[in-house]
A and B are shown apart, each in its own frame.
Chain A
């Protein structure tokens, strides 16, 4: 297979040279700002073709305007999300649920899962989330005047909330972080190996909960009924895998980007520390500025979209970080204003697949920032270090070493 080949139906003048994988600032970059680096597309047309814009080197159409992304993502009849991203790493073909199901099957599973992660349910989880944040931050405060935010806080925090949701003890934390990392950022050997390990884990957990039900997410899944029947093993897997891949890396990355911003902006940091009631609103602006996900859909039929001849089977990319820098949607989109109101950002996507875990993610981010700012004094990027940020399918940040000596 030849990669980077532009399909015949794409007019040459609609091919752009921007890619979330290969453009400047997308590869791991010390002191990089990959989200800001995507804003350059707004100088160009509303839609163009990027010949290399997936991990495996496929081309995609790129939708730049928020209003057009809304149209694409709200129209699941035309733009399908069934791509078997996880299964394809194993050479298999089954959907992560509900993300990779299209309506009407999507609605059945979405309705089943919505109550588990609704705003109301998340409010009930809040004390446990806060307790976990406090424990981690207190231990960081007690052990010195510097830490690596990602290793010491963001990942263990996100993973431990996930473990609690699954009813698993915290000592399972370390293997999880490794699996998630290998799966999302590993090479062609590590990715399938991690995928297999995660599947085996989910199968084992499902079997355990079938045998001995407890009050947790997986017990709910194995006991649940859709259309008057129990879920199949493949459906249980599909749900388990999605919760795993969607809930770990993204929340950790968001917390990392947010604390990196505050480390570099002492005035804003002090504002939120002295007036913590501003954190809820500020977190929305940080979600606008530092979203992490590129959403890709597959055209189910030929459609002409804003002058672009999209053909059945074409990939269509709706990158949340691009929508969030759209000057037609946000005043001064490149300015990060922690007091911004009316912030209808796209960090959790648009349409029926709106991030199922968005309410939990928001609470984790807000609580993480609240407890961090309340328990640690003014912090900055440690001298001589540079956090490495990267673009790609899921944007992220590593080696965020901060110092408060």
Chain B
């Protein structure tokens, strides 16, 4: 799963981070980091729940078919230690 991060809409509610801190990382001010996110298969439920919790609609699940084939250059961030 691929999550589009609309960074300009993020207002630092940090609801995504509260639900899935390993998937959604925050900067020192508490706003989501810039850059879209590839989610590992096992984390998809958690990640989509976090997306639906964003009061600003700053996160979006990319459902286009292209998004399913992740470019090799993008390293998955989900499940990081």
Chain A residue numbers with a CB within 8 Å of B12 are 114, 118, 354
* Secondary structure call for the B interface: loop
CA distance A290 to B67 in the complex (A): 39
User: Is A58 interfacial (CB-CB < 8 Å)?
Assistant: no
Contact A114–B30 (Cβ < 8 Å)? yes
CA distance A342 to B16 in the complex (A): 10
Contact A114–B29 (Cβ < 8 Å)? yes
Contact A350–B30 (Cβ < 8 Å)? no
CA distance A117 to B30 in the complex (A): 9
Chain A proximity of B25: nearest CB distance (Å): 11
Contact B30–A359 (Cβ < 8 Å)? yes
For chain A residues 312-353, which have a beta carbon within 8 Å of chain B? 341-346, 348, 350-352
For chain B residues 28-81, which have a beta carbon within 8 Å of chain A? 28-31, 49, 52-57
User: Is A70 interfacial (CB-CB < 8 Å)?
Assistant: yes
Query: Which size class do B's interface residues fall under?
Result: 20 to 34
The count of A-to-B residue pairs whose CB atoms sit within 8 angstroms is: 59
For chain B residues 14-36, which have a beta carbon within 8 Å of chain A? 14-15, 17-18, 26, 28-31
User: Is B7 interfacial (CB-CB < 8 Å)?
Assistant: no
Chain B proximity of A357: nearest CB distance (Å): 12
CA distance A354 to B17 in the complex (A): 16
Chain A residue numbers with a CB within 8 Å of B54 are 344
Contact A344–B30 (Cβ < 8 Å)? no
Chain B proximity of A73: nearest CB distance (Å): 9
Chain A residue numbers with a CB within 8 Å of B14 are 119, 359
CA distance A343 to B17 in the complex (A): 14
CA distance A70 to B9 in the complex (A): 11
Contact A350–B29 (Cβ < 8 Å)? no
Contact B29–A115 (Cβ < 8 Å)? yes
CA distance A119 to B26 in the complex (A): 9
Chain B residue numbers with a CB within 8 Å of A114 are 12, 28-31
Chain B proximity of A225: nearest CB distance (Å): 17
Chain B proximity of A373: nearest CB distance (Å): 21
Contact A120–B26 (Cβ < 8 Å)? yes
Smallest Cβ-Cβ distance to A355: which chain B residue: B13
Given contacts A342-B53, A350-B55, contact A118 B28 (CB under 8 A): yes
Which of B9, B31, B52, B57 is in CB contact (< 8 Å) with A342? B52
B13, B15, B31 — which one has the most chain A CB atoms within 10 A of its CB? B13
Contact B55–A346 (Cβ < 8 Å)? yes
CA distance A398 to B78 in the complex (A): 46
Contact A70–B26 (Cβ < 8 Å)? no
CA distance A70 to B57 in the complex (A): 9
Given contacts A348-B13, A351-B11, contact A120 B28 (CB under 8 A): yes
CA distance A155 to B57 in the complex (A): 34
Smallest Cβ-Cβ distance to A122: which chain B residue: B30
Chain B residue numbers with a CB within 8 Å of A23 are none
Chain B residue numbers with a CB within 8 Å of A358 are 13
User: Is A29 interfacial (CB-CB < 8 Å)?
Assistant: no
User: Is A111 interfacial (CB-CB < 8 Å)?
Assistant: yes
Chain A residue numbers with a CB within 8 Å of B15 are 344
A341, A342, A348, A359 — which one has the most chain B CB atoms within 10 A of its CB? A342
Chain B residue numbers with a CB within 8 Å of A399 are none
Question: Which A residues contact B (CB, under 8 angstroms)?
Answer: 70, 74, 111, 114-115, 117-120, 280, 341-346, 348, 350-352, 354, 358-359
The 7 A-B pairs of least Cβ separation, nearest first, read A114-B29, A118-B30, A342-B52, A354-B11, A344-B55, A119-B14, A119-B30
Given contacts A119-B14, A120-B26, A344-B53, 20 further A-B contacts (CB under 8 A): A70-B57, A114-B29, A114-B30, A114-B31, A115-B29, A118-B12, A120-B28, A341-B52, A342-B49, A342-B52, A342-B53, A343-B53, A344-B15, A344-B55, A344-B57, A346-B55, A348-B13, A350-B11, A358-B13, A359-B30
